[in-house]
């Protein structure tokens, strides 16, 4: 049995293990952190409407993610600077995904890189790119990802400018991923729908567009043949004062209407959060912060334990909702409600009692 019986204990271990700079990089957001807090507040503003007297002796949480079988509707989101959280970095995350049975994304701004992860793992995985060069530069990377067996390719599109993450600025902390990829930002800023069209005209590998926040852009994704609409506000780490991502889901799900897969991230830290996202139209939920906390707590084993605990929590929620399969979830199981606690960076974990951070 793992030493971690709850996600709270994983968070505490990560706080103990990580440097103050790495901790704030992982848990912080942009500017006033309003968007980060809205992610949590939006989740806490939905209450469950359970049904009873249904047979839930056998609950199936498995699903299809990106065309492959997945033990849970969870993806390990692309994260930069994983090597600052654990010496194994992205390899520890990929190995945890492989052992547990879920899809993982590899960010272009973390280590080890695209070739090392492909050489050491055999599970289904996605490569995510921050653009730092022209179309020839992009083509080289896409072709490499295809040759190495990555099943989908992800373009992140909500980082035209690097945000002001004031926790990092105050502590003069520079994430390792940013230090390695600090040139060529003009190419990211120049991304447009013509590039998406060029991508779809050039390659057969399914394309994920990450950073969609409105029905209008979701419609453009579908119009351009994008296979996966990835709803995200970058965990509240880019544009501040945006909506919580679960509040974006209904309009996007209505617009997409089954014509593309929908992935969402943004503050999803508990099993109940993931069930709420599925009820609102997501096909899968990508976890970032809680993934990083697991990595900081105990490397590969910590990430694996995060997945186990989320599975336990989801199973409990589904059973108490009176459901035995994910495809039975709908908005009928949710209604608006007043949050009972003020949103916080870690308000999903009310029993932490961590020392306050000094700035």
The residue-averaged pLDDT of 79-101 equals 97
| Inside any domain, residue 188 | yes
Query: What does the pLDDT read at residue 357?
Result: 54
- Angle of the 245-256 helix axis to the 215-223 helix axis, nearest 10: 40
| Inside any domain, residue 178 | yes
| Inside any domain, residue 336 | no
pLDDT digits (tens, 9 = 90+) for 258-275: 999 999 999 999 999 999
Domain count, the chain: 1
Structure tokens belonging to residue 135: 């179309």
What is the domain extent for residue 129?
7-323
Query: What does the pLDDT read at residue 356?
Result: 61
Number of alpha carbons in the 13 Å side-chain half-sphere of residue 219 = 6
CA distances from 184 to 136, 187, 190, 194, 238 (A): 14, 6, 10, 19, 18
For residue 234, indicate whether it is catalytic.
yes
pTM for the model stands at 0.96
Query: What does the pLDDT read at residue 320?
Result: 98
CATH code, domain with 101: 3.20.20.70
Q: Are 112 and 91 in contact (CB under 8 A)?
A: yes
Query: What does the pLDDT read at residue 359?
Result: 42
The residue-averaged pLDDT of 101-113 equals 97
The share of the chain scoring above pLDDT 70, in percent, equals 97
Residue 350: in which H helix or E strand, if any? none
Which one, of 295, 287, 269, lies nearest residue 17 by Cα?
A: 295
Which of 126-130, 156-160, 174-178, 197-201 has the lowest average pLDDT?
174-178
Which of 76-90, 174-188, 219-233 has the lowest average pLDDT?
174-188
pLDDT digits (tens, 9 = 90+) for 173-217: 888 877 777 788 999 999 999 999 999 999 999 999 999 999 999
The residue-averaged pLDDT of 22-43 equals 96
| Inside any domain, residue 333 | no
Catalytic-role residue among 66, 152, 234, 304: 234
């Amino acid at each position: 049995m793992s030493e971690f019986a709850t996600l709270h204990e994983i968070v505490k271990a990560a706080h103990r293990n990580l440097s103050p700079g790495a901790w704030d990089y992982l848990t912080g957001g942009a500017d006033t952190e309003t968007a980060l807090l809205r992610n949590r507040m939006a989740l806490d503003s939905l209450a469950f409407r359970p049904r009873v007297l249904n047979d839930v002796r056998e609950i199936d949480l498995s699903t299809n993610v990106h065309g492959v079988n997945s033990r849970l509707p969870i993806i390990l989101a692309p994260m930069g600077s994983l090597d600052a959280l654990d010496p194994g970095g992205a390899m520890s995350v990929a190995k945890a995904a492989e052992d547990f049975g879920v899809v993982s994304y590899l960010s272009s701004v973390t280590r080890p890189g695209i070739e090392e992860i492909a050489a050491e793992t055999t599970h289904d995985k996605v490569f995510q790119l921050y653009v730092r060069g022209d179309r020839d530069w992009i083509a080289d990377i896409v072709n490499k990802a295809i040759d190495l067996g990555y099943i989908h390719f992800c373009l992140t599109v909500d980082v035209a400018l690097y945000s002001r993450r004031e926790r990092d600025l105050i502590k003069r902390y520079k994430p390792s991923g940013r230090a390695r990829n600090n040139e060529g930002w003009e190419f990211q800023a120049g991304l447009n729908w013509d590039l998406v069209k060029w991508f779809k005209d050039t390659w057969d590998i399914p394309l994920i567009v990450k950073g969609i926040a409105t029905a209008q852009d979701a419609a453009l994704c579908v119009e351009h043949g994008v296979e996966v609409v990835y709803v995200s506000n970058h965990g509240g780490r880019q544009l501040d004062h945006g909506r919580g991502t679960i509040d974006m889901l209904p309009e996007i799900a209505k617009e997409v209407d089954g014509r593309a897969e929908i992935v969402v991230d943004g503050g999803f830290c508990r099993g109940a959060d993931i069930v709420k996202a599925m009820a609102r139209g997501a096909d899968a939920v990508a976890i970032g912060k809680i993934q990083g906390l697991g990595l900081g707590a105990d490397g590969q084993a910590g990430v694996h334990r995060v997945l186990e605990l989320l599975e336990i929590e989801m199973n409990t929620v589904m059973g108490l909702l009176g459901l035995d399969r994910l495809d039975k979830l709908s908005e009928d199981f949710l209604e608006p409600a007043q949050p009972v606690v003020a949103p916080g960076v870690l308000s999903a974990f009310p029993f932490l009692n961590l020392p306050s951070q000094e700035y």
